[in-house]
Structure 1
Amino acid sequence: MTNVNRDANPIAATLAAQGVAYPDVPTLAAPRGHYSHVATGLGLVFVSGQLPLDARGEPRADLPLAEQAALALRNVEAALAAAGCGWKDVIKVTVYLAGVEHWPAFDAAYRRMLGDARPARAVVPVPALHYGVLAEVEAVALHPAAAQAPLSPPPVLR
Protein backbone atom coordinates (compact mmCIF):
# COMPACT_ATOMS: atom_id res chain seq x y z
CA MET A 1 0.00 0.00 0.00
CA THR A 2 1.31 3.46 -0.88
CA ASN A 3 1.88 5.89 1.95
CA VAL A 4 -0.23 9.01 1.32
CA ASN A 5 0.82 12.23 3.07
CA ARG A 6 -2.69 13.43 3.89
CA ASP A 7 -1.56 16.65 5.57
CA ALA A 8 0.56 17.83 2.65
CA ASN A 9 -1.89 16.90 -0.09
CA PRO A 10 -5.67 17.27 0.40
CA ILE A 11 -6.45 15.71 -3.00
CA ALA A 12 -4.47 12.59 -2.11
CA ALA A 13 -6.20 12.51 1.27
CA THR A 14 -9.62 12.66 -0.38
CA LEU A 15 -8.76 9.87 -2.80
CA ALA A 16 -7.37 7.68 -0.02
CA ALA A 17 -10.43 8.28 2.15
CA GLN A 18 -12.88 7.38 -0.60
CA GLY A 19 -12.10 3.68 -0.62
CA VAL A 20 -13.76 1.52 -3.23
CA ALA A 21 -16.84 2.86 -5.04
CA TYR A 22 -19.09 1.57 -7.81
CA PRO A 23 -20.43 4.60 -9.71
CA ASP A 24 -23.79 4.22 -11.40
CA VAL A 25 -23.68 4.33 -15.20
CA PRO A 26 -27.15 5.64 -16.10
CA THR A 27 -26.66 5.32 -19.86
CA LEU A 28 -25.90 1.58 -19.70
CA ALA A 29 -28.35 -1.21 -18.91
CA ALA A 30 -27.79 -2.83 -15.52
CA PRO A 31 -25.23 -5.63 -15.59
CA ARG A 32 -26.77 -9.08 -16.06
CA GLY A 33 -24.30 -10.67 -13.63
CA HIS A 34 -22.96 -9.94 -10.16
CA TYR A 35 -20.54 -7.14 -11.06
CA SER A 36 -20.39 -3.39 -11.67
CA HIS A 37 -19.70 -1.64 -14.95
CA VAL A 38 -17.07 0.47 -13.20
CA ALA A 39 -15.20 0.42 -9.89
CA THR A 40 -12.92 3.09 -8.45
CA GLY A 41 -10.37 3.17 -5.67
CA LEU A 42 -7.28 5.20 -4.77
CA GLY A 43 -7.63 7.23 -7.94
CA LEU A 44 -7.81 4.25 -10.28
CA VAL A 45 -10.85 3.51 -12.43
CA PHE A 46 -11.53 -0.05 -13.60
CA VAL A 47 -14.08 -0.59 -16.37
CA SER A 48 -15.47 -4.11 -16.61
CA GLY A 49 -15.40 -5.82 -19.97
CA GLN A 50 -17.98 -4.10 -22.14
CA LEU A 51 -19.73 -5.96 -24.91
CA PRO A 52 -21.55 -4.46 -27.89
CA LEU A 53 -24.84 -4.17 -26.00
CA ASP A 54 -27.44 -1.54 -26.88
CA ALA A 55 -29.05 0.83 -24.35
CA ARG A 56 -31.56 -1.88 -23.39
CA GLY A 57 -28.71 -4.31 -22.70
CA GLU A 58 -29.40 -6.41 -25.78
CA PRO A 59 -26.39 -7.98 -27.51
CA ARG A 60 -25.81 -6.80 -31.07
CA ALA A 61 -24.07 -9.87 -32.48
CA ASP A 62 -25.94 -9.15 -35.73
CA LEU A 63 -23.77 -6.10 -36.46
CA PRO A 64 -20.50 -6.22 -38.44
CA LEU A 65 -17.34 -6.24 -36.32
CA ALA A 66 -16.59 -2.52 -36.90
CA GLU A 67 -20.02 -1.55 -35.53
CA GLN A 68 -19.75 -4.01 -32.63
CA ALA A 69 -16.36 -2.54 -31.76
CA ALA A 70 -17.70 1.03 -31.87
CA LEU A 71 -20.63 0.07 -29.63
CA ALA A 72 -18.42 -1.71 -27.09
CA LEU A 73 -16.04 1.28 -27.07
CA ARG A 74 -18.95 3.70 -26.56
CA ASN A 75 -20.02 1.58 -23.59
CA VAL A 76 -16.50 1.81 -22.13
CA GLU A 77 -16.62 5.57 -22.73
CA ALA A 78 -19.95 5.80 -20.84
CA ALA A 79 -18.50 3.89 -17.87
CA LEU A 80 -15.42 6.12 -17.87
CA ALA A 81 -17.61 9.25 -17.95
CA ALA A 82 -19.65 8.00 -14.98
CA ALA A 83 -16.39 7.90 -13.01
CA GLY A 84 -15.31 11.36 -14.20
CA CYS A 85 -12.83 10.15 -16.83
CA GLY A 86 -12.36 10.08 -20.58
CA TRP A 87 -10.12 8.25 -23.03
CA LYS A 88 -7.23 10.63 -22.26
CA ASP A 89 -7.16 9.22 -18.72
CA VAL A 90 -6.94 5.56 -19.77
CA ILE A 91 -3.72 3.75 -18.92
CA LYS A 92 -4.45 0.24 -20.24
CA VAL A 93 -7.03 -1.40 -22.50
CA THR A 94 -7.59 -5.11 -22.92
CA VAL A 95 -9.52 -6.27 -25.97
CA TYR A 96 -10.94 -9.75 -26.49
CA LEU A 97 -11.74 -10.64 -30.11
CA ALA A 98 -13.54 -13.77 -31.26
CA GLY A 99 -10.90 -14.44 -33.90
CA VAL A 100 -7.64 -12.66 -34.64
CA GLU A 101 -8.84 -12.02 -38.20
CA HIS A 102 -11.00 -9.22 -36.74
CA TRP A 103 -7.95 -7.28 -35.51
CA PRO A 104 -7.67 -4.84 -38.50
CA ALA A 105 -11.35 -3.84 -38.38
CA PHE A 106 -11.23 -3.49 -34.60
CA ASP A 107 -8.05 -1.42 -34.73
CA ALA A 108 -9.62 0.99 -37.23
CA ALA A 109 -12.71 1.48 -35.02
CA TYR A 110 -10.45 1.88 -31.96
CA ARG A 111 -8.32 4.51 -33.70
CA ARG A 112 -11.45 6.49 -34.68
CA MET A 113 -12.84 6.37 -31.14
CA LEU A 114 -9.65 7.14 -29.19
CA GLY A 115 -8.14 9.76 -31.49
CA ASP A 116 -4.89 11.00 -29.96
CA ALA A 117 -5.20 8.85 -26.81
CA ARG A 118 -2.79 5.91 -27.07
CA PRO A 119 -3.02 3.81 -23.90
CA ALA A 120 -1.16 0.53 -23.53
CA ARG A 121 -3.23 -2.24 -25.09
CA ALA A 122 -3.42 -6.00 -25.39
CA VAL A 123 -5.57 -7.75 -27.99
CA VAL A 124 -6.42 -11.30 -26.97
CA PRO A 125 -7.93 -13.62 -29.58
CA VAL A 126 -10.47 -15.99 -28.03
CA PRO A 127 -12.58 -18.79 -29.52
CA ALA A 128 -15.92 -17.21 -28.52
CA LEU A 129 -17.50 -14.43 -26.46
CA HIS A 130 -20.78 -14.24 -24.55
CA TYR A 131 -23.96 -13.92 -26.66
CA GLY A 132 -21.97 -14.65 -29.82
CA VAL A 133 -20.55 -11.12 -30.05
CA LEU A 134 -17.14 -10.54 -31.61
CA ALA A 135 -15.53 -7.97 -29.26
CA GLU A 136 -15.22 -7.16 -25.57
CA VAL A 137 -13.24 -4.22 -24.18
CA GLU A 138 -12.07 -3.43 -20.64
CA ALA A 139 -10.02 -0.48 -19.41
CA VAL A 140 -8.05 0.91 -16.49
CA ALA A 141 -7.77 4.69 -16.05
CA LEU A 142 -6.21 7.17 -13.66
CA HIS A 143 -8.78 9.66 -12.41
CA PRO A 144 -7.76 13.23 -13.35
CA ALA A 145 -7.78 14.30 -9.67
CA ALA A 146 -5.37 11.49 -8.82
CA ALA A 147 -3.05 12.54 -11.61
CA GLN A 148 -2.67 15.90 -9.84
CA ALA A 149 -2.07 14.37 -6.42
CA PRO A 150 1.58 13.55 -5.79
CA LEU A 151 1.93 10.69 -3.36
CA SER A 152 4.50 10.45 -0.64
CA PRO A 153 7.30 8.01 -1.35
CA PRO A 154 6.69 4.53 0.03
CA PRO A 155 8.30 3.72 3.35
CA VAL A 156 11.70 2.05 3.29
CA LEU A 157 11.41 -1.53 4.45
CA ARG A 158 14.36 -2.98 6.33
Structure 2
Amino acid sequence: MPRKILKPEQLKFQPRPTYPYSPGTRGGSILYTAGQVAWGSDGNIVGVGDIEAQTRQTLSNVEAVLKEGGADWTDVLKCNVYLKDMKYFQEMNNIFSEIFPDNPPARTTVQTPLAEECMLVEIDAVAYVGD
Protein backbone atom coordinates (compact mmCIF):
# COMPACT_ATOMS: atom_id res chain seq x y z
CA MET A 1 0.00 0.00 0.00
CA PRO A 2 1.55 3.33 -1.01
CA ARG A 3 2.07 5.94 1.66
CA LYS A 4 1.09 9.55 1.05
CA ILE A 5 2.82 12.38 2.91
CA LEU A 6 0.45 15.17 3.94
CA LYS A 7 1.80 18.73 4.00
CA PRO A 8 -1.11 21.19 3.91
CA GLU A 9 -0.38 24.67 2.54
CA GLN A 10 -1.72 26.11 5.81
CA LEU A 11 1.16 24.47 7.70
CA LYS A 12 4.04 25.12 5.30
CA PHE A 13 5.01 28.36 7.04
CA GLN A 14 5.94 26.52 10.23
CA PRO A 15 9.53 26.53 11.29
CA ARG A 16 10.93 23.15 10.36
CA PRO A 17 12.69 21.20 13.09
CA THR A 18 16.02 19.57 12.40
CA TYR A 19 14.52 16.12 12.88
CA PRO A 20 12.42 14.38 10.23
CA TYR A 21 8.64 14.23 10.45
CA SER A 22 5.60 14.99 8.31
CA PRO A 23 2.45 16.84 9.43
CA GLY A 24 0.52 13.72 8.45
CA THR A 25 0.60 10.47 6.55
CA ARG A 26 -2.03 8.36 4.89
CA GLY A 27 -1.72 4.69 4.04
CA GLY A 28 -4.80 3.25 2.38
CA SER A 29 -7.81 4.19 4.48
CA ILE A 30 -5.90 5.20 7.61
CA LEU A 31 -4.69 8.75 8.18
CA TYR A 32 -2.37 9.82 11.00
CA THR A 33 -1.65 13.40 11.95
CA ALA A 34 1.53 14.36 13.71
CA GLY A 35 1.09 16.22 16.96
CA GLN A 36 -0.06 19.72 16.08
CA VAL A 37 0.41 22.81 18.21
CA ALA A 38 -0.85 26.38 17.96
CA TRP A 39 1.39 27.65 15.15
CA GLY A 40 -0.35 30.61 13.56
CA SER A 41 -0.13 31.89 9.99
CA ASP A 42 2.82 34.12 10.94
CA GLY A 43 4.87 31.17 12.18
CA ASN A 44 4.47 32.10 15.85
CA ILE A 45 2.49 30.40 18.59
CA VAL A 46 -1.03 31.84 18.83
CA GLY A 47 -2.46 32.82 22.21
CA VAL A 48 0.59 32.63 24.43
CA GLY A 49 -0.79 31.93 27.90
CA ASP A 50 -4.34 31.35 26.56
CA ILE A 51 -5.35 27.68 26.48
CA GLU A 52 -8.61 28.34 24.65
CA ALA A 53 -6.90 30.23 21.80
CA GLN A 54 -4.15 27.61 21.58
CA THR A 55 -6.66 24.75 21.55
CA ARG A 56 -8.64 26.38 18.74
CA GLN A 57 -5.52 26.98 16.63
CA THR A 58 -4.19 23.49 17.34
CA LEU A 59 -7.48 21.92 16.24
CA SER A 60 -7.45 24.12 13.13
CA ASN A 61 -4.01 22.77 12.28
CA VAL A 62 -5.16 19.17 12.86
CA GLU A 63 -8.14 19.87 10.60
CA ALA A 64 -5.84 21.13 7.82
CA VAL A 65 -3.96 17.81 7.86
CA LEU A 66 -7.21 15.84 7.87
CA LYS A 67 -8.50 17.79 4.86
CA GLU A 68 -5.24 17.32 2.98
CA GLY A 69 -5.71 13.57 3.41
CA GLY A 70 -9.37 13.57 2.35
CA ALA A 71 -10.87 13.35 5.85
CA ASP A 72 -12.86 15.53 8.20
CA TRP A 73 -13.78 15.48 11.88
CA THR A 74 -16.46 12.80 11.36
CA ASP A 75 -13.73 10.39 10.22
CA VAL A 76 -11.61 10.74 13.38
CA LEU A 77 -11.34 7.53 15.40
CA LYS A 78 -8.88 8.63 18.11
CA CYS A 79 -7.20 11.76 19.42
CA ASN A 80 -4.34 12.17 21.84
CA VAL A 81 -4.21 15.43 23.76
CA TYR A 82 -1.02 16.51 25.50
CA LEU A 83 -1.42 19.31 28.05
CA LYS A 84 1.41 21.23 29.63
CA ASP A 85 -0.64 21.23 32.85
CA MET A 86 -3.86 19.41 33.74
CA LYS A 87 -5.20 22.69 35.13
CA TYR A 88 -6.06 23.44 31.47
CA PHE A 89 -8.17 20.29 31.07
CA GLN A 90 -11.65 21.79 31.42
CA GLU A 91 -10.99 24.77 29.15
CA MET A 92 -9.42 22.51 26.50
CA ASN A 93 -12.32 20.07 26.87
CA ASN A 94 -14.87 22.86 26.29
CA ILE A 95 -13.26 23.75 22.95
CA PHE A 96 -12.81 20.08 22.02
CA SER A 97 -16.53 19.49 22.60
CA GLU A 98 -17.35 22.26 20.09
CA ILE A 99 -15.62 20.17 17.40
CA PHE A 100 -17.18 16.91 18.62
CA PRO A 101 -20.58 17.80 20.13
CA ASP A 102 -21.93 14.29 19.46
CA ASN A 103 -20.22 10.94 19.05
CA PRO A 104 -16.68 12.09 19.91
CA PRO A 105 -13.72 9.87 19.07
CA ALA A 106 -11.78 7.86 21.60
CA ARG A 107 -9.36 10.17 23.39
CA THR A 108 -6.41 10.07 25.74
CA THR A 109 -5.36 13.20 27.61
CA VAL A 110 -2.07 13.40 29.49
CA GLN A 111 0.08 16.04 31.13
CA THR A 112 3.57 16.29 29.69
CA PRO A 113 6.27 18.85 28.92
CA LEU A 114 5.94 20.25 25.38
CA ALA A 115 8.64 21.27 22.91
CA GLU A 116 8.57 24.99 23.76
CA GLU A 117 7.75 26.74 27.02
CA CYS A 118 4.92 28.79 25.48
CA MET A 119 3.08 25.72 24.16
CA LEU A 120 0.11 24.68 26.32
CA VAL A 121 -1.46 21.92 24.19
CA GLU A 122 -0.58 19.46 21.42
CA ILE A 123 -3.10 17.21 19.65
CA ASP A 124 -2.79 14.36 17.17
CA ALA A 125 -5.49 12.28 15.48
CA VAL A 126 -6.09 9.00 13.67
CA ALA A 127 -8.84 8.89 11.07
CA TYR A 128 -10.45 6.27 8.85
CA VAL A 129 -10.91 7.80 5.42
CA GLY A 130 -12.84 4.96 3.82
CA ASP A 131 -12.47 3.16 0.58
| TM surpasses 0.5 | yes
After alignment, is 59-68 or 90-99 more displaced?
Answer: 59-68
- Whole-Å Cα distance in 2 between the matches of residues 31 and 129 of structure 1? 16
- Whole-Å Cα distance in 2 between the matches of residues 68 and 89 of structure 1? 23
Q: In the alignment, which of 131, 134, 137 is matched to residue 123 of structure 2?
A: 137
Percent identical pairs in the alignment equals: 28
Amino acid across the alignment from 1:40 = R
Tell me, yes or no, if the aligned pair for 2:14 and 2:39 is still in contact at 8 Å: no
Instruction: Indicate whether 1:20 and 2:6 are aligned.
Output: no
Q: Secondary structure at the match of 1:84?
A: coil
- Whole-Å Cα distance in 2 between the matches of residues 95 and 135 of structure 1? 7
1:46-87 Cα offsets, whole Å, 9 max, x none, are: 000000110233123514101111110110011100101001
Gaps of 5+ in 2: none
Q: Secondary structure at the match of 2:5?
A: coil
The TM-score normalised by the length of structure 1 is 0.75
**Structure index of larger Rg:** 1
Amino acid across the alignment from 1:139 = A
Paired residues in the alignment total 127
> What root-mean-square deviation, in Å, do the aligned CA atoms of Structure 1 and Structure 2 show?
1.5
- Whole-Å Cα distance in 2 between the matches of residues 123 and 24 of structure 1? 25
Q: Secondary structure at the match of 2:3?
A: coil
Q: Secondary structure at the match of 2:9?
A: coil
| Structure 1 counterpart of 2:28 | 42
Bigger fraction of residues in strand: 2
Gaps of 5+ in 1: 1-15, 146-158
Amino acid across the alignment from 2:9 = P
